[in-house]
Structure 1
């Protein structure tokens, strides 16, 4: 029952980087540091007009986000993040489904992302929402060294018009 109450209060808001409220910026900077991105690089991303952020809020607290780069008719997801205290509730899937629906409504054709080959939980989630592996980059990641799986989703598949 308590989980239901939480979900009813959740809201996803799309932003360009320069529009992000301070609370969302702080969460994104902290989360990106977990991926070895510097604060300087993250703040630079906020200024890139091709970058978009879909931030999930519980009232005014940012609890997760998807960041992506959008150019012409395709986008590349750079990070899917849910705060550790909010994980295992289906929020990552719900957030991805929201982003996918928004991109489809805007007429984008393709969505890409990269993920560590060993991150089987993330790969399963991405496949569940419709991504398919199209390539693998050998030794792409470091600390630890690992391959990257390149995934793609055709945003027009299954669309009814």
Structure 2
């Protein structure tokens, strides 16, 4: 059974390393540290014992929450953990007074798109050529929203 805890500043490097093992588009430790220093952000760790399974960065201002970053470690993907982490984040946002949760995802990330759709998110817009690819090309961002 996975546990959910709030990340601390000393978790920034651990988060960056775990995400780098899972995606070529990972945040670095400075990005995590900046998020941890923000009064509006909470980073949720999903762990089993001392093993980091995944994490989610939730930014909330008033009644709007934004999923800034989300990953499940590559060694633990395909086990339903993404759905568990996403449900936890939605519940936390709702408990903090959010009525909507927003996110953006790469158009090519079909696994994440399916996860978000199953969780009640719907596409409301597209940002053309938003993400830069390693080869210099650009990729669209799909903007999604779920009512809480």
1:40 to partner: Cα distance = 2.6
RMSD: 1.8
Measured after TM superposition, the shift of residue 21 of structure 1 is: 6.5
Describe how 1:44-83 pairs up with structure 2 within 5 A. 44-83=34-73
**Aligned equivalent of 1:110, options 90, 100, 122:** 100
Between Structure 1 and Structure 2, which shows a larger proportion of helix residues?
1
- Residue number among 137, 140, 144 corresponding to 1:147 in the alignment: 140
Match of 2:86 in 1: 96
Task: Find the structure with the greater CA-based Rg.
Answer: 1
What are the ranges of 5 or more consecutive residues in structure 2 without an aligned counterpart? Answer: none
1:27 pairs with 2:20: no
Q: How many residues align?
A: 142
Provide TM-score, normalisation by structure 1: 0.80
After TM superposition, the score normalised by the length of structure 2 is: 0.87
Q: What is the deviation of 1:67? A: 0.6
- The 4+ residue runs of structure 1 with deviation greater than 6 A are none
Deviation at 1:36, TM superposition (A): 5.1
Gaps of 5+ in 1: 1-7, 156-161
The superposition leaves residues 86-105 of structure 1 with CA deviations (integer Å, 9 ceiling, x where unpaired) of: 11100000110111122222
